[in-house]
Structure 1
């Protein structure tokens, strides 16, 4: 079953600005990417298309997870109303999509000005970790109160997929907030001396939500969330990912990408014109396993040559299996000609 993402179903005033932009003919390659992500996906409640056209980010992330699961060689059974994805073969798996959304009254993730560029990345990452925890906890409550009672969910590994859309430039946070949220480990660039060979890292157990309220971090550091098998996370499955994958070689766009650089704490940076730029669907994605999971994911089920997969050793060390050129951050700059 296929459905039409791009015939407007809501009036223009209620359409998300990226959706309105996508209707322009020049973005036909980007529409093709989203239609490809939607293959096999079904609008089970009859509201997905309208919500996609109005809110965009949550629908974008759900479509991305649909494509990612198929990139892992999995075929979700869309006959179930919930959770979002139920996989039967080769091993059972349930996946629920969530986004780290802006705090109430916070700025939307799309569009930014110079004023939005953070001057304090520690604060930027703290707030991002709080938004991740908020989304994670909401899905855990839903699992405990409802999903776990469903016969097609019971006794299956349960994964939460979290996309970072909590503010303008959310992709700058990269993996810092998800490592703090799940494993209580924070890499602190602001505390790292110039010329250091390693980024200063330390354990964190909470982050301040307000002057009187702290939110626990290190959600995978004990068995309190044993029903969650893993988290799939990306800060780069955004409009930028759609543009990166679009077959539009004539676009006047430069992609600046950041990659690990061996033992050097400074990343390797590349600038590439669109015509020569290549990016994989799963570039920038993390699979973060819960060492206390009651139902761990079968070994290798979510492994992929382009993905960073994180396990915890018996001594507590994080074991990260990632490609040498793993995509840490991607930014793009386009030139638009005026008549």
Structure 2
């Protein structure tokens, strides 16, 4: 499948900006090649994903990435059925519905991202007000996305009051196998700074305070710009028991593609990742190169539902050290796997200012200059 080929009926002005960058810009030549590898054996069961990729981008891009992930970890995908999005076969099989959280209608578009927004990836969130401005918006968008996909699985009444059967009623779907929602965040221009904070709050009710450097149990947040209360800790709601886990990332971006390209060949991008580590200093600065690459699975997380009807237990993900997060006795547990990416900074200027950039990030995140 050639997802970059011209499609009849799509004019150039209707192409998504990110698609055009990948297709046309020499800077993204390596990234384009990686995506072509991802989709070489992708089965377009609805005959529409190439169009979706070119016009709307994010949802198709996320599915291409997930396909590459499943192929890498070694699970077997069935291409026989057109829903859910991914059907994993075998005794350890499971079902995955993919979804993205996009910027709300009328929200500030990514085209208005400024140099300050870009440079601020090197700076941690330091105040509770700044944190809530970012995270509460993410919580609202993610809550809507997860609810939409849960409805698709369980069935729902549409706006006309008609019952729409769920995927669980399909003959090929077994309710004894895990149902997983795979969610990627593109919900605001600074989604790269969300890390896992929005999901810890939304799923487990653990809301972080950067000013106090602690997590606090919280039941709701107020929808930004409104008065509606959005539930937190939704994994403890009865309705969510059908969701075994959430696969999540907020780093599957064009920056991810630059980083993967930089990892396997000479690339004009200069990419650094800020990674959390249990050992001091807790924030390590990772300059991406062929010797110190970024892996496809870096920045990918699995959040387990402690109250799920069917637990999600995938050996292939564990064997590939995907970072898994769960809750036990009111404590958040993180597997000792890949060091998570807290922030990523990409510069088209190459390594011209790499020492300044790296020392700035290290000192801001750690309070001292300490990077490796």
Q: Same fold (TM over 0.5)?
A: yes
Q: Are residue 165 (structure 1) and residue 186 (structure 2) matched?
A: yes
Partner of 2:333: 319
Give 1:207 deviation, angstroms.
Answer: 1.4
Partner of 2:365: none
Paired with 2:319 and 2:258, the residues of 1 have a C-alpha distance of 22
Give 1:305 deviation, angstroms.
Answer: 4.2
Partner of 1:254: 270
1:140-179: CA deviation from partner (whole Å, max 9, x where unpaired): 1111112111122231210000001111120111100011
Q: Are residue 328 (structure 1) and residue 326 (structure 2) matched?
A: no
Q: TM-score, normalised by structure 2?
A: 0.81
For 1:49, what is the secondary structure of its paired residue?
helix
Paired with 1:21 and 1:232, the residues of 2 have a C-alpha distance of 27
- In the alignment, structure 2 segments of 5+ residues that lack a partner are 156-165, 351-372
1:46-104: CA deviation from partner (whole Å, max 9, x where unpaired): 11111100111111111111111122211211221111000112422100000111111
Q: Are residue 230 (structure 1) and residue 240 (structure 2) matched?
A: no
For 2:147, what is the secondary structure of its paired residue?
helix
Q: TM-score, normalised by structure 1?
A: 0.88
Query: Is the deviation greater in 15-24 or in 102-111?
Result: 102-111
Q: Are residue 147 (structure 1) and residue 167 (structure 2) matched?
A: yes
**2:167, 2:173 within 8 Å by CA — same for their partners in 1?**
yes
Partner of 1:182: 203
1:214-242: CA deviation from partner (whole Å, max 9, x where unpaired): 01111112433111010000011111111
Partner of 1:196: none
Q: CA RMSD in A?
A: 2.2
Higher helix fraction (1 or 2): 2
Paired with 1:268 and 1:332, the residues of 2 have a C-alpha distance of 16
Give 1:311 deviation, angstroms.
Answer: 2.1
**1:287, 1:302 within 8 Å by CA — same for their partners in 2?**
no
Paired with 2:73 and 2:277, the residues of 1 have a C-alpha distance of 27
Runs of 4 or more, structure 1, over 6 Å off, are none
Give 1:289 deviation, angstroms.
Answer: 0.7
Partner of 1:8: 6
**1:184, 1:203 within 8 Å by CA — same for their partners in 2?**
yes
Partner of 2:96: 95
| Alpha carbons of structure 1 residues 115 and 257: separation in structure 2 relative to 1, 3 Å | closer
**2:322, 2:338 within 8 Å by CA — same for their partners in 1?**
no
Paired with 1:258 and 1:6, the residues of 2 have a C-alpha distance of 32
1:115-144: CA deviation from partner (whole Å, max 9, x where unpaired): 656881221111111111110011111111
| Alpha carbons of structure 1 residues 275 and 324: separation in structure 2 relative to 1, 3 Å | closer
**2:321, 2:338 within 8 Å by CA — same for their partners in 1?**
no
For 1:226, what is the secondary structure of its paired residue?
helix
For 2:318, what is the secondary structure of its paired residue?
coil
Paired with 1:238 and 1:162, the residues of 2 have a C-alpha distance of 13
| Alpha carbons of structure 1 residues 232 and 316: separation in structure 2 relative to 1, 3 Å | same
Give 1:11 deviation, angstroms.
Answer: 1.3
Give 1:24 deviation, angstroms.
Answer: 2.3
Paired with 1:253 and 1:127, the residues of 2 have a C-alpha distance of 30
Paired with 1:111 and 1:93, the residues of 2 have a C-alpha distance of 39
